[in-house]
Amino acid sequence: MGTGFVLNSLRAIDLDRASHLHREAFEPMGERGWTRQDVAGLLASPGVAGFLLTEGASDIGMAICRVVADEAELLTVAVDPAHRRRGAARLLLGVVVDRVRGDGARTLFLEVGADNPGARALYDSLGFRTAGRRAGYYARHGRPAADAVIMRLNLS
């Protein structure tokens, strides 16, 4: 089945849309959603690139990454709950990988909640491997903190 996904760079005029996508994706997991100021601050920092995926008039998802020397980090990926399992995150991560590799990164790192099986399955399917763990890293509303699993993808 085809999609009408259209990918663009995340621009200053998209801050509210990116913040909305982030809050809708992360707040149900008990994480703090990012404000437009959070997104603006990130986009203004060195080596950061963001992407916004749309379909017609709908915002589908977004991703933000950062490159420092030969290491890159996926800072976030968020897909609208109404449009999950349609390949949006896979598409966004493919674009992130191409961008950071083009910018000279040899490794892409990310951190994911140990209690987030969907995201972990996504990263496993793309070839990321577990590189470490931070105990109790993610505060969760009304639940014990979750460990962060650090994952890495070799780009070279």
Ligand X SMILES: CC(C)(COP(=O)(O)OP(=O)(O)OC[C@H]1O[C@@H](n2cnc3c(N)ncnc32)[C@H](O)[C@@H]1OP(=O)(O)O)[C@@H](O)C(=O)NCCC(=O)NCCS
Q: Which residues bind ligand X (CB under 6 A)?
A: 25-26, 77-79, 84-90, 112, 116, 118-119, 121-122, 125
Nearer to ligand X, 104 or 132 (CB): 132
Please, what is the minimum distance in Å from the beta carbon of residue 27 to ligand X? 10
Q: What is the 3-state secondary structure (H, E, C) of 42-103?
A: HHCCCCEEEEEEEECCEEEEEEEEEEECCEEEEEEEEECHHHCCCCHHHHHHHHHHHHHHHC
Please, what is the minimum distance in Å from the beta carbon of residue 112 to ligand X? 4
Residues whose CB is less than 8 angstroms from the CB of residue 38 and which lie 6 or more positions away in sequence, other chains included: 19
Please, what is the minimum distance in Å from the beta carbon of residue 116 to ligand X? 5
**By Cβ distance, which residue is nearest to ligand X?**
118
